Chains A and B, each alone.
Chain A
Amino acid sequence: MYVAVKGGERAIEAAHAWLAEARRGDPALPELSVAQVEEQLGLAVDRVMAEGACHDRGLAALAIKQARGDLIEAAFLLRAYRTTLPRFGASLPLETGAMRIRRRISATYKDLPGGQVLGPTFDYTHRLLDFALAAEGEAPAPAPEAPAEAATMPRVTGILAQEGLMQPEPPGDAEPPDLTRQPLSFPADRPLRLQALARGDEGFLLALGYSTQRGYGNAHPFVGEIRMGEVAVEIVPPELGFPIAIGEITVTECQMVNQFAGSKTEPAQFTRGYGLVFGHGERKAMAMALVDRSLRARELGEEAEAPAQSEEFVLYHCDNVEATGFVEHLKLPHYVDFQSELEKIRQLRATALREAAE
């Protein structure tokens, strides 16, 4: 229970003024521009777009600047902004198979059509602080270029499927549920789970995915494929009646390949855990794929006792904007609740002391 309390206005105004000053930092230093955030802190921008569930690089960069680099606060700002905009419709499903690849790796096949393309990755860096970046550096030399093959890059899951070794995804074009329109309800089907995971907190999903590898859930995953690059977004405006491209967005996709012992009706084969996120978010896509697969335990007739296999546990707690709201609300005045607790404790103590004295 909360009680409206007045009298804090001036304190709040002063606090906000100080916040603005603290955000700016030392005025002797040049101010960070939103464009600089967008260009030079691009992975933070990607994370805020993914967890804010709203793709707009400029808005995400502004949110990061406003939030002083607090990425959960920035995702919150982006979520709040999106509520002011009308929904024009939904896109056709993205064709990630037709992605213009910047990165594509597989841990299951060394030689695969299209090859292993490393892209702009932290992998193979030595994780040694680069003090050259602390100096006023010159622009780096342009990245080398090489003749590109026009060949498309087939999905690793497709290669396995050709041999019948990969469980096919049930086809269909059913209108998916949308948790921004209807509240979560259980059991949640896989499209709803994937939506929740795609906007879920990277840290929470990372820890859950990690737990499945460490014995909390019986996962033996391989990275079938990770791909990152640009995909066209198409919509069918009702006034046109045919699909048009409205632009391109960067996404990261992870296909996690997992063993499946088979059941009475299905022979042994591989199954998929799937991750797809806005921007370049490899860790998030991998964690999402691990958790997606572990949430399929019941559907695949596996034991489901680990936290990462409980859809209520995962879906109710993966949204960091909801989580931060409920945790941080504890800061609000609870004077009346606490008063009643105080009285109860005093009573109990008084009773106990009296009984001890008797």
Chain B
Amino acid sequence: MAGPAPGSTPAGPDPDEAARRRWMGVLARAGAAEIAARLDQVPPLPPHRRLRGPETGLVMARGRQGGDGAPFNLGEMTVTRCSVRLEDGTVGHAYVAGRDARQAELAAMLDAALQDPTRRDALLAAVIEPLAAAQAAAAARVAAKAAATRVQFFTMANMR
């Protein structure tokens, strides 16, 4: 999926790109209901028009031979994408794994709104950071369960 970048709004310098990658990643991992619940805490998002989608399609997931060699096609996965435009021309995009059209549209609306510096901090604090914290907590619980199944070897010498 390389190539020129049609339809993009000027993303500005790299710090913005890093911030945008982060919120898009958080939104892709969040359910529509979770996002909607966080949006209830903030003023309504600006009106938007659908540019493309929400529509469900496939992305071919790739691995590397031997884990670190040349790429190969592992298999496809369902992905839903949506692009919206705000009245000022800002375009928001979303690609989320699965088939949840509502999640994709909410994520695209938020991607557009978050590009507005006057809204960004409030939306990050009220929507993105709580979602990221919940995701980190869920991952930490899985890691803690895995840690409990870690083998603590002791040798015969220690047993004597």
Residues of A whose CB lies within 8 Å of any CB of B are: 49-50, 53-56, 58-59, 82, 85-94, 96-97, 100-103, 110-111, 115-120, 143-149, 155, 157-158, 169-180, 190-192, 194-195, 198-199, 229-230, 232-233, 235-249, 251, 253, 255, 272, 274, 276-278
Contacts and interface: CB of A to CB of B under 8 A. Distances in A.
B100 to A, nearest CB: 10
A176 B71 contact: yes
B1 A90 contact: yes
B69 A117 contact: no
Given A89-B59, A238-B2, A198 B97 contact: no
* Shortest Cβ-Cβ A-B pairs, 9 listed: A169-B69, A247-B97, A145-B144, A89-B1, A245-B25, A191-B72, A55-B77, A148-B143, A169-B66
A241 B146 contact: no
B125 interface: no
B83 A155 contact: no
Interface stretch (B33-41, B116-124, B149-157): B149-157
B76 A82 contact: yes
A244 B25 contact: yes
A86 B79 CA distance: 10
B66 to A, nearest CB: 4
A245 B29 contact: yes
Given A194-B72, A237-B93, A242-B11, 18 more contacts: A56-B78, A82-B76, A94-B74, A101-B143, A115-B151, A118-B151, A171-B69, A173-B70, A191-B73, A195-B73, A235-B59, A235-B79, A239-B8, A240-B5, A246-B96, A247-B28, A255-B67, A278-B74
Contacts of B144: 145-148
B148 A244 contact: no
B89 interface: no
Contacts of B133: none
Interface in B98-149: 98-99, 139-149
B148 to A, nearest CB: 4
Interface residues of B, number: 63
Contact of B21 (A91, A148, A243): A243
B90 interface: no
A111 B140 CA distance: 24
A116 to B, nearest CB: 4
A85 B78 contact: yes
Contacts of B60: 87, 89-91, 178
B148 A178 contact: no
- Interface-centre pick from B4, B5, B59, B61 (highest chain A CB count, 10 A): B61
8 contacts: A87-B57, A93-B64, A94-B64, A96-B63, A101-B143, A173-B70, A174-B70, A178-B60
A235 B142 CA distance: 25
Contacts of B84: none
A253 B67 contact: yes
B15 interface: no
A149 B78 CA distance: 33
B83 A54 contact: no
A108 to B, nearest CB: 15
B47 interface: no
B101 to A, nearest CB: 13
Contact of A91 (B29, B59, B153): B59
